[in-house]
Structure 1
Amino acid sequence: MRKHMYIFLCFLLTVGCGMQSQLDDLTLVLTIGLDEKDGKIIVYSVSPVFNKEAKNIYEVIRTSGVTLRDNRFKANAFASGKIVGGKTQNVVVSKRIAKNHDMFSYLDVLYRDPKNSTTANFIVFDGPLKNLMYIRLDDKPRLSVAIRDVLLTAHKGKQTTKMDLLQFRRLSIDRAQTPFAPMMKVYKGDLVAGGIALFNEQRKYVGALFQKESPYFAILQKQIKPSTSLTLPIKKQNKQTEFVSISIEHGHFSYKPSFQHGMFRFDVRIKLRAVLTEATAYIDMKKDKQKIEQLLAKEIQKQLESIVRKMQKYEVDPIGFGLYARAYEYKTFKKQKSWAKAFAKADINIRPTVEIINYGVLQ
């Protein structure tokens, strides 16, 4: 028995060694960047360098062509090894190309070719893409890893969102919702992730939510875990503005759609349970707890309504109000030629409440 097991293991090792590819012979594209110039698509391919004699730990290949596949063909002339796209972690497009073109026309090959990865992060870059591709990050790991880490950290802190290629495609073909993506930029020589890019039904960039609006976007999406931190202004009786910070730990959401007077109506009820983490003025919680909760709820309502108005202005529905309309008012929803235009006219009534469940050890 041991003899047969030994022969079997030797066979596996022999086969494995015969089929493996040397890393030195491959160019693993971990990040793909898309920009445009003079009517042509500019493609950046970022790959790690495994050669010990190389000075740089990653290489950037820039090509110009008419399609992504055309650029891949041209990049083979510059690559130090066979280009492999199945390990791609990030696909970054400039705001310029996202604004001028349907994203499907350039991302088609990434979905069509099964060798490519559809779990890569999809990111919109605010500015010329060369500013990102040739940035020097002496205090961070390889560029592809740095992009991924910065994005994940900002997503956990509710400063942006997260989107992969497969989810972007699913949202793009769903009549009840429009796609969105995280945004990134270079600020003072460092990577910064913040804000949310909004796409219309034609998969074109039409606007964005600012970094400070991202936590409220997460609330509307029911994504408050891990805890969502907010700093809100509170006006005292002497009209002086103070600030209160809370950490939202729990939430209960109710979205009730209806169709009245030729338009959709949504009654949104949000119950938030939060921990008071900071106050710039003394607050007697035993006396003023209910008043503070009402003031916080009023400010949160103001911010949520502002975001919804912006989305209606751009005629986009990244939250997915259309999902509720389709589920509860299907016959009326089915008649809409464009859900985005119907959503832009919808009456959305948001009523949040806040309950402070803990306010620290000072009192």
Structure 2
Amino acid sequence: MKRFSACLAGWLLLLAILSGCGFKDIDRRFFVMAIGIDKSHAEEKAYRVSLKLAVPFAKIQPGETNTYRLVSDDASSIAEAVRHIKSKVDKELDFTQSKMIVVGKDVSDELLREDLLDWFLRRRDIQSASYMAVGDPSAEAVLNVKTNSERFPGDSLFLSFDQDGTESSFIATEHLFDFHRRVREKGIDPYLPVIRTIDDGAFLIDQVAVFDEERMKAVLSADETRIFNELVERNQNFDVETKTDKVQFALNVHRFRYDYKIQASPPAIHLKGRIVAQAEESTEAFYTRPWSYYEQLAERQTETRYARLLQKLQRLNVDPVGFGLRYRATRYGGAKEWKAWQALYPKVTFHPKVSIDIKSSGGIK
């Protein structure tokens, strides 16, 4: 009898726990599709948090502008802002579908101190594979862009970064897990793509912001961003533009790979790359000269572009390619080797060598 009473009490306790587990049906939830963080202009408030919420409809047509709701709040922390936003909506906030984190330029430096990253990394319902970007002029402005092609809230941003939609050589992609790794790891510096609003119905992603250990150092131009994607993200979808006084042509790249070696004395980095391409546009027919002529022109200008970008990153004292990480990984001095690399990197000379093989002229003679 005592055993039966104890068993009954256990089942009643279990039922009490399950009845209060907090489960809510899908029609009682707001799915947070994107999160924006800006610096607050209110007194004693550190952040302005914006959440892009999906509004459920039975049928969504392309171009619908009322399929989302943007809710913002000012608070001293992200957790406090989210709790206060809950008082502004009539459904539970669900972060399991959040795939986009946009940080305003005025608060981006705090990412490096992990003040902002801490909240995202501690929550179990925030995906570590979420995309990250810098919003210009603000994260709230970027999330409030209404594009006519969106099928659901945030769809245009997701398609821009995951390459299921557009594939652009100007768009850099960065994830939460990789950004956190770059913030903590010595020898490889973080970067984030920059999303700029053009008007009420469009945005532009053709720049990248590079960081050192303390702050954002610079925003690269569109042309520099394209080269950055080739070296850092090893992008395979890009064009090689070549222009001289006599001819101008463009090559569409089919395959691209490169490797490099670090030389300690004298300090140098020898980068060797190989590109297989097809002629896409030219001011003269490719049959007037040997193809080797065009290959050599493209090789020299590509090597110059790589050297200029690497030298600029060196002057900024940032290393998003990860040369320092390779240096540490191939030596066994620990902290001593890291200090040696910090003294070595500003003195390094870059020697890029690119081999271009044109497989087709892209037309019929």
What's the TM-score bracket when you normalise by the shorter of the two chains? Answer: 0.7 to 0.9
Q: Secondary structure at the match of 2:207?
A: strand
The answer to whether residue 279 in structure 2 is matched with residue 269 in structure 1 is: no
- Counterparts of 1:74-85 in structure 2, within 5 Å, are 74-85=84-95
Cα distance in 2 for partners of 1:126, 1:55 equals 22
- For 2:72, the equivalent position in structure 1 comes to 62
Partner residue of 1:307? 309
Secondary structure of the structure 1 residue equivalent to 2:87: coil
Other-structure match for 1:110: 120
Cα contact 1:234–1:244 (8 A) shared by 2:
no
Q: Report the number of matched residues.
A: 337
Once the two structures are superposed, residues 225-274 of structure 1 have per-residue CA deviations (whole angstroms, 9 ceiling, x without a partner) of: 3x3223221332xxxxx42110122234231112115xx32111112221
Q: CA deviation at 1:329?
A: 4.2
Q: Structure 1 275/326 Cα, relative in aligned 2: closer, same or farther at 3 Å?
A: same
**Matched residue, 2:244:** 234
CA offset digits 1:15-46 (Å, max 9, x no partner): 9xx99632221121110001113362110001
Q: CA deviation at 1:167?
A: 1.1
Alignment of 1:29-40 (within 5 A): 29-38=32-41, 40=46
Residue of structure 2 equivalent to 1:43: 49
Note the 1:175-254 alignment, pairs <5 A.
175-189=186-200, 190-202=202-214, 204-221=215-232, 223-225=234-236, 227-236=237-246, 242-254=247-259
Note if 1:123 corresponds to 2:133.
yes
The alpha carbon displacement at 1:336 in A equals 2.9
Amino acid at match of 1:216: I
1:340 to 1:317, Cα distance in 2 relative to 1, 3 A? farther
Q: Determine whether 1:156 maps to 2:147.
A: no
Q: Aligned with 2:88: secondary structure?
A: coil
When residues 329 and 359 of structure 1 are mapped into structure 2, their CA distance, relative to the original with a 3 A threshold, is farther
Contact residue 142 and residue 195 of structure 2 kept, 8 A: no
Mind listing any 5+ residue stretches in structure 2 that lack a counterpart?
1-17
- Select between 227-236 and 347-356 the one with higher mean Cα deviation: 227-236
Aligned to 2:291: 289
Which residue of structure 1 aligns with residue 15 of structure 2? none
Cα distance in 1 for residues equivalent to 2:46 and 2:268: 44
Q: 1:215, 1:229 within 8 Å by CA — same for their partners in 2? A: no
- Residue identity in the other structure for 2:293: K
Alpha-carbon deviations, 1:294-322, whole Å to 9, x = none?
11111111111121122112211111112
Q: TM-score, normalised by structure 1?
A: 0.84
Task: Please give the alpha-carbon distance, in whole angstroms, between the structure 2 residues aligned to 1:176 and 1:333.
Answer: 12
**Which residue, 148, 152, 155 being the options, matches 1:145?**
155
Output the CA distance in 1 between the equivalents of 2:140 and 2:110. Answer: 18
Quote how far apart the aligned CAs of 1:178 are. 0.6
Q: Which secondary structure does the structure 1 equivalent of 2:240 belong to?
A: strand
Give secondary structure in 1 for the equivalent of 2:115. Answer: helix
Distance 1:51 1:324 in 2: 51
Q: What whole-Å deviation, never above 9, does each CA across 1:189-241 have from its counterpart, x for those lacking one?
A: 31221121211123x3221222222332233237243x3223221332xxxxx
Partner residue of 1:257 out of 259, 262, 266: 262
Q: Deviations over 1:151-197 (max 9, x none)?
A: 34587321121111111111221112011122211113312211212
Q: Which secondary structure does the structure 1 equivalent of 2:193 belong to? A: strand
Contact kept, 8 Å, 2:117 with 2:180, in 1: the verdict is no
Instruction: Give me the identity figure in percent.
Output: 17
Query: Does structure 1 conserve the Cα–Cα contact (< 8 Å) formed by 2:34 and 2:143?
Result: no
